Amino acid sequence: MNPELAAKYEANTNFAWTTVCLSPFTRIMHNSFLVICLVVASVLAYKAGDVVCTEDSVNIRTAPCGDVEGPAVLNGIKLPVIGGPMYQCCFGGCYNWTQVTYNGKQGWMADKYLLSCKSLSEVCKYSKLSNIYKMINFVASLSPIRTPGTDVSITVRNFRTGERASYRGNQKIVSASSAKAMWVSAALIKVGIGPVQPYAGPIFKNSDNDATGKVIDLIGPDAINPFYFGAFGMNNSGFCHWNYGKTRIASNCPHGLGDDNYFTSDDAVNFLERVEARKILPGKEGDALREWLTWSPRTGYGGWLGTLLPAQAQQTMQHKAGWIPPAGEPNNELYRICNEIGYVTANGARYAISILSAHGNDYWNKQVPYLQYVSCMIYYAITGEIKQCQ
């Protein structure tokens, strides 16, 4: 990323600072042991006066992309920053380079091997460094390049490790058809499987809007927001209207995005967590929802979550996409929505994921492929495999 973009991201991103002190543990990517205290932060470039910790064994170089000077610096070493960042491409990639001092020498290191850190003498809680945090940070940093103009929100929960991470998780984005999973769930709770069953196929296989309206009619539009604010844990989301087939207006719409239906990636994962834990839909109704979520497309149009995933993950994922492309109905150009929420199993590790995107400059050629790319990169961050997604 060039310095201008890095500065823009440092000003606008909202990653929470999370301090973790790492006792010996198995690294997901490398299966090595180390002890370090790290801060996973929103900053994407370091400047003079910062202190960084080496995340891996890393070479110190005479200049950005220059020759190696001396032996590699080991894991978990604190280094004062004296200069940078400087953007240079070499060795098969492009990096921000940071100038540091080490053992009396001055040199340069690629930021991909560094993380901000606090004093190792501070009292920290023991926790596993999350590859999810690092990967979400990384893919978010690429969004201005891969999909210019796009508002992006990402939240992931790894059920095997308990880790949860998000990028702009509280950003409100028009929910489009992804929220049909929530509306169907509300109907399942209120009226059971029987009345909802006839509409499940059209909704989850084809994202049918008229069938969705029939499900909303089973409970009434005012019934949805109490579920959002209550059992679903979606306090920053809202249902306002659904006008397919006929007009349906929720009198309790919170108007967080005018009259549009909306949610956040954090709220979507809150909902998925509660379904997974059977805090909502604990019985056969929950089993029905899980089955219906497998009816959505596995790849391609409406199946973007799985497009770049391995075949086994595609087959087993449970998800609901939502989209408002720039062509079609009046005002679609103002939205440009492409969302995915769902569950994926990665080599035995099941996780919930929400990737929301809006307003991209190039919907089909950049915004949609970026969502597929994010899904793929997070999958391999969880499996620990070293793969490059396209």
Residue ranges with strand state E in the chain: 18-22, 36-40, 51-54, 78-90, 93-102, 105-110, 114-116, 151-158, 164-167, 173-174, 262-263, 318-324, 337-346, 349-358
Q: Would you place residue 164 in the very low, low, confident or very high pLDDT band (cuts 50, 70, 90)?
A: very high
Find out whether 68 and 94 touch, Cβ atoms under 8 Å: no
Is the pLDDT assigned to residue 168 strictly greater than 80? yes
CATH number of the domain residue 219 falls in: 3.40.710.10
- Give me the domain span that covers residue 235: 133-383
Token pair in block for residue 387 = 């793969």
Q: Would you place residue 56 in the very low, low, confident or very high pLDDT band (cuts 50, 70, 90)?
A: low
Both 146 and 294 in a single domain?
A: yes
Both 253 and 326 in a single domain?
A: yes
What distance in Å separates the CA atoms of residue 290 and residue 281, rounded to the nearest whole number?
A: 10
Both 121 and 143 in a single domain?
A: no
- Residue at a domain's end among 127, 145, 169: 127
pLDDT score recorded for residue 387: 76
pLDDT score recorded for residue 50: 81
Both 42 and 93 in a single domain?
A: yes
pLDDT score recorded for residue 72: 77
- Residue at a domain's end among 94, 127, 160: 127
In a domain, 370, yes or no: yes
Both 268 and 176 in a single domain?
A: yes
Both 90 and 119 in a single domain?
A: yes
**DSSP type of residue 302:** T
pLDDT tens digits along 128-159 = 346 788 889 889 989 999 999 999 999 999 99
Both 122 and 148 in a single domain?
A: no
Average pLDDT, rounded, for the chain: 83
Question: How much of the chain exceeds pLDDT 90, in percent?
Answer: 59
What distance in Å separates the CA atoms of residue 100 and residue 302, rounded to the nearest whole number?
A: 47
Whole-number Cα distances in Å, 85 to 52, 65, 139, 181? 13, 13, 19, 44
pLDDT tens digits along 204-220 = 999 999 999 999 999 99
Both 111 and 59 in a single domain?
A: yes
Q: What is the mean pLDDT of residues 371-390?
A: 90
In a domain, 71, yes or no: yes
Number of neighbours of residue 223 by Cβ within 10 angstroms: 18
Find out whether 216 and 224 touch, Cβ atoms under 8 Å: yes
Is the pLDDT assigned to residue 5 strictly greater than 90? no
Is the pLDDT assigned to residue 20 strictly greater than 60? no
Report phi then psi at 200, rounded to 5: -65, -45
In a domain, 390, yes or no: no
In a domain, 388, yes or no: no
pLDDT tens digits along 333-364 = 789 999 999 999 998 899 999 999 999 999 99
- Residue at a domain's end among 127, 148, 179: 127
pLDDT tens digits along 304-317 = 999 999 999 999 99
In a domain, 235, yes or no: yes
Find out whether 116 and 355 touch, Cβ atoms under 8 Å: no
Domain count, the chain: 2
Both 205 and 260 in a single domain?
A: yes
pLDDT tens digits along 283-302 = 999 999 999 999 999 999 99
Both 205 and 90 in a single domain?
A: no
- In the block, which residue shows the tokens 């690629």? 110
- In the block, which residue shows the tokens 């492409």? 338
Q: Which long-range contacts does 294-298 make (Cβ < 8 Å, 24+ apart)?
A: 294/318, 295/200, 295/201, 295/204, 295/205, 296/204, 296/205, 296/207, 296/320, 296/321, 296/342, 297/205, 297/321
Token pair in block for residue 3 = 């310095």
Both 179 and 287 in a single domain?
A: yes
3-class SS at 21? strand
Both 151 and 267 in a single domain?
A: yes
Question: How much of the chain exceeds pLDDT 70, in percent?
Answer: 82
**DSSP type of residue 17:** P
